Amino acid sequence: MDTKEEEIPLAEILLSIYAFFYKNFKLIALSTFVGGVLGLIFYLTKPKVYKSTSTIYSSVVSNQRLVDIINQLDVIRKSKDQELLAKTLNIDSSLATSIKSISASLVIDLEYLYDKDHNPRYESNCVSITFETINTELFEILDSSVLFYLSNSPFLNQKVNSRANMYQKIITKSNEELNELDSIQKLKMSLLDNKSNIGGFQEISGIKSGESEIMLLFVQKERTNNLLNELAAANIVKPFNIAPEKVSVFYKPVFALAFAFMILGVFVGIIQHFNSKVRSYLKD
């Protein structure tokens, strides 16, 4: 048997496909339209989801550890324990129920947020937090809620207390050294008053040297004191936007259901086509 006689020309295949879609055009178009309408109805009736992102900084832990701590919030959310989530964030249960997603990630580049020359540590210790919710009122209190959660973290509290103790020791030691140097300076001044001008230049140089040392210790003490006063589990670098962006867009459900119903229409058309072939075969 000649195989060439059994081959179906490509043009005939394309014509068969064209004939199928032409014959079932109304069915496919109608099913696509119905799917699109259902998708639009689904979008209009489904609660809108909004998201907003904040950037925080911690001086007591690494950014990866901070990400792990924040992501524990989403673990609580997924457990469906809304009362625990509300208590953890210090918010109402209704707001906790409205939360759809909580995520944290490392921040690679914060050049648009701060001056690296003045805040070099921000680059390695910043974390981005994203909340998705159907209630935009949440974003008005979310900054304080996140800080409340972090400030009550046992691990972060331990780190803060450890850092505070270190600063306190530095301040105490600086005070002791300042008192000691102050006493030495007073003694030098007293000795200088009781001496003649002979060798006075050396005495004056010693006094000035002592004053410089006192100034350096005082600056170190004040800097450490500022660090102690500013010490916290975390600080807000970029707050949540109270006018968040929408997560859901209308064309996604519209296109998805329209495409699904179009495939359904094609499938129904194929079944009808084969049924007509079978009926004509049985008649013959």
Residue 210 lies in a domain: yes
Residues 21 and 126 in one domain: no
Residue 9 lies in a domain: no
Residues 128 and 68 in one domain: yes
From 237, 225, 239, select the one nearest 116 (Cα to Cα). Answer: 237
Residue 269 lies in a domain: no
pLDDT at 86: 94
Residues 55 and 181 in one domain: no
pLDDT at 131: 94
Number of domains in the chain: 3
Burial class (CB in 10 A: 0-12, 13-18, 19+), 50: buried
Residues 185 and 145 in one domain: no
One-letter amino acid of 214: I
pLDDT at 1: 46
Rounded distance, CA 71 to CA 53, Å?
14
Q: What beta strand segments (E) does the chain contain?
A: 50-57, 99-106, 126-133, 235-238, 245-246
Residue 7 lies in a domain: no
Residue 281 lies in a domain: no
In order along its 284 residues, the chain shows pLDDT tens digits of 444 455 657 777 777 777 777 777 888 888 888 888 888 887 777 788 889 999 998 888 888 889 999 999 999 999 989 999 999 999 999 999 999 999 999 886 555 455 555 554 444 568 899 999 989 899 999 999 999 999 999 999 999 898 889 888 888 888 887 777 767 666 666 655 555 444 444 454 454 555 677 777 777 778 888 877 888 888 888 899 877 777 766 567 778 888 888 888 888 888 877 777 777 766 66
Residue 80 lies in a domain: yes
Q: What are 43's two structure tokens?
A: 């979008």
pLDDT at 201: 44
Residues 102 and 185 in one domain: no
Residues 36 and 170 in one domain: no
Residues 126 and 181 in one domain: no
Please give the helix or strand (H or E) that residue 86 lies within, else none.
helix 82-89
Residue 2 lies in a domain: no
Rounded distance, CA 184 to CA 6, Å?
113
pLDDT at 88: 93
Residues 216 and 140 in one domain: no
pLDDT at 254: 79
Residues 238 and 118 in one domain: yes
pLDDT at 279: 73
Can you give the residue range of the structural domain that contains 89?
Answer: 50-158+233-246
pTM value > 0.75: no
Residues 255 and 154 in one domain: no
Residue 273 lies in a domain: no
Q: In angstroms, what CA-CA distances link 211 with 173, 199, 206?
A: 18, 19, 9
Residues 86 and 100 in one domain: yes
